[in-house]
Structure 1
């Protein structure tokens, strides 16, 4: 794999690519506070072996990309989307097949709505609509209130309990921090599929060795709390062929349980 640093304005971003640049490009966009190496090497090689040019990258405030002083230079989802197009520009790619997970999928939705020419196809994994503000639902769930009938469901009780417990978990030593992060991945894994703890631990440890500032990644949550009309734009504006992949037992974004004929759209037409 070849490493290249590109610039999004003053922010330098770490990227890595594999495959021939003349092949169709797949840009892999990782989720909140997670480094680009969250996309496994094996996936990169499989895609490249099947005639694809594959790019992964570290978001700002993660891994080997630059960190930002969020207090003096706050940023939003739109800025992270601009980082994503800067990665394409840095590799001289006019448009790509965008595959994103969680926050990365939200960024993919934003690009497909506002920069459609850059998106050949969109694959959104383990995400909610970019116009859905989960804050009120989370607040109601954390305070024991019933969910509102017109909102998407909050995370599972186990995940919310983990948030409360995690806030009180000691993180004074390197090992305690590693263990706490592995536990978070365990909860996010859910209970339906086996949890590969050795792989998760190796990923967390590798991420720690690559990070310029581990605490900077929390800025993604702060950026995600910014809401504007660009995020509320209807997803019906997306013209790129789109594949939605979602786990039937996702603990962070549980599926809506209404029957098909009871479903109410969460996005304006």
Structure 2
């Protein structure tokens, strides 16, 4: 395992590499406002044991990556998307297997559309289809607005109830409050089928808190999205050339049913529904997901 700070067009990005540099590379792209360490070590280790060279990274304004004064140096989700390519460039990789979780899956889809030569295979986990404007669906759910006909399926009631409460609550005032909120969020994202390991989640939340240069800077991702309402092109997933695997849990609370919509739009895409899985890579499903990725990348 090797950690590196790379320069991505003036922004420092923390990256971490595992495995043999001669093995096929896979780049793990985590979701919005999320640090790269949310890709669990056990999951990464299984991919490495299966013969892959694994790279994960912290998005700008998260974890050990650089933070910005957004008012002075604003950016958009196009910049966050281009960071995927900047990581590949820093490692001198012409192409790699891309694996994206949640909003990271959205970024990976966009890269696969725009830069097909850079993507050996595409794996999308717990994500929404590019062009579906999932953020608008969530905001309508949180504000009680009706969903227009043809929009994506809304989040589960427990997801909506939790984030509605978050919006109405004042910011966390202490380290303990912040960590408790992270745990409460993880409990919802875990779904309703699998046991929730609060002790393990607390250790992860404490690690997230301690390694962040500025924990509040992650909120800049929301500002980047607001500054870039046209980020998602519509009707382009049919252009994806990379062999694609779409993974969704049967108890997905955030984007239920969105995986099937992605798979329907990408030619030849395979859909894997993981029993009992929620939005998170919980311990009980990590091996299933990792083994599916190993089989998929071997075919690509």
Partner secondary structure for residue 185 of structure 1: helix
**Deviation sequence 1:7-31 (CA, Å, 0-9, x none):** 1110011100011111100100111
**Deviation sequence 1:73-108 (CA, Å, 0-9, x none):** 222222112111111111111100000101111110
In structure 1, what is the equivalent of residue 250 of structure 2? 248
**Cα distance in 1 for residues equivalent to 2:184 and 2:129:** 27
CA change 1:142–1:56 in 2 (3 A) is: closer
Using the TM superposition, give the Cα deviation of residue 174 of structure 1 relative to its aligned residue in structure 2, in angstroms.
1.1
Partner secondary structure for residue 64 of structure 1: coil
Contact 2:17 2:55 in 1 (8 A): yes
**Cα distance in 2 for residues equivalent to 1:266 and 1:49:** 32
Alignment pair present for 1:25 and 2:25? yes
Using the TM superposition, give the Cα deviation of residue 142 of structure 1 relative to its aligned residue in structure 2, in angstroms.
3.3
Alignment map for 1:120-199 (pairs within 5 Å): 120-167=120-167, 168=169, 171-199=172-200
**Cα distance in 2 for residues equivalent to 1:229 and 1:42:** 33
CA change 1:36–1:241 in 2 (3 A) is: same
**Cα distance in 1 for residues equivalent to 2:242 and 2:149:** 31
In structure 1, what is the equivalent of residue 74 of structure 2? 74
In structure 1, what is the equivalent of residue 212 of structure 2? 211
Contact 1:76 1:224 in 2 (8 A): yes
In structure 1, what is the equivalent of residue 84 of structure 2? 84
Partner secondary structure for residue 231 of structure 1: coil
Partner secondary structure for residue 232 of structure 1: coil
RMSD over aligned CA atoms reads 2.3
**Cα distance in 1 for residues equivalent to 2:220 and 2:109:** 20
Contact 2:112 2:240 in 1 (8 A): yes
In structure 2, what is the equivalent of residue 238 of structure 1? 240
Using the TM superposition, give the Cα deviation of residue 58 of structure 1 relative to its aligned residue in structure 2, in angstroms.
0.6
Alignment pair present for 1:45 and 2:45? yes
Structure 1: runs of 5+ lacking an equivalent: none
Q: Which moved more, 1:68-77 or 1:215-224?
A: 68-77
Task: Report the TM-score, using the length of structure 1 for normalisation.
Answer: 0.90
